[in-house]
Every structure is written in C-alpha cells, then in structure tokens.
Amino acid sequence: MNFDIAMERLKSEGFKRTPSREAILRLLEREDRYLSAGDVRKALADQHPKMSQDTVYRNLSSFSEMKILEETELGGERKFRMHCNRHGHHHHFICMECGRTEELDVCPMEQVSRALPSFVIDDHKFEVYGQCPDCRTAG
C-alpha cells in the first residue's frame, strides 16, 4: 500500500482529506516500519508542531480499522506500519534495534485448524524478533 491508494481508500469511506492525515500517511509510507503514536508525533513535530495526541491516536486507529495500516503491540505500546499487500496473508520478522521488518511467508494455521477442530479460531499472531543483518554488522 502506498500514500495515493491510502488516500483513495479514505475518500471512498467518506473520510476527509486533512493535512494531519496526509502527514501521518506520508511518514508511514516513507518509514516502512512499525512506529508508535509517540514516534509519529516526534517525527512530525517540526512540520506540524500543533498536531495533538488525540489526532494522532484517532487517525492511527481509524487507518488500522480500515486496513490501511497493520498494527501490533510491542513493549507495551501499539505500533503501526503501512499495510503491505505484495502478498496476501503474511507475518513479520521485526528488528528490535532499528524496527526494520521482513515479510515471512510461512504460517502454520492450516495445521492448527486441523489440530483444533472443535475450536472457533478468530485470529492469530505470529511474529519473530531479533537483529537484522545491518544492525548485526553495525553492532
């Protein structure tokens, strides 16, 4: 997903095009990794010093609900990144130093479904944490 497609999605769902939303989505497109609401605020402090917390949180949540963003919870914080749609379903490796992510194709949910036939499965989370090659050589 990129900025333009995200803005189209907003329009089609009846959301207004505002400077705040543009700035948040442009940032997330550029960064291409998980950012917290605080990260977003700091990154936009120069260009949008008056953007309130409320605006950041509310928009990140809205974007996540309408699948423009992917969301996870890490270290006690909600984090968001532009939704990748190269493949359909996927999971991520997340570098704990720089936040870089790498898409993973493996997902064991078919096996799980077979193993739990009488359970209703609504959701699942699979994430791998570590150090990316760049941070490893830098460290």
Partner DNA sequence: TTTCCAATTCGGAATGACTACGATTTACTC
Partner DNA sequence: GAGTAAATCGTAGTCATTCCGAATTGGAAA
Which residues contact its own copies (rule: CB under 8 A)?
73, 76, 78, 93, 95-96, 102, 104-109, 111-112, 115-116, 118-133, 136
CB of 86 to DNA, least distance (A): 27
Nearer to its own copies, 16 or 120 (CB): 120
CA distances from 35 to 24, 26, 81, 93, 128 (A): 11, 13, 6, 15, 17
Nearer to its own copies, 2 or 53 (CB): 53
**Of residues 62, 123, 69, 130, the one with CA closest to residue 95:** 130
d(CA 4, CA 10) in angstroms, rounded, equals: 10
CB of 88 to its own copies, least distance (A): 17
Angle at alpha carbon of residue 121, lines to 89 and 61, rounded to 5°:
60
Interface residues with DNA (CB under 7 A)? 11, 14-21, 36-38, 48, 50-55, 57-59, 61, 76-78
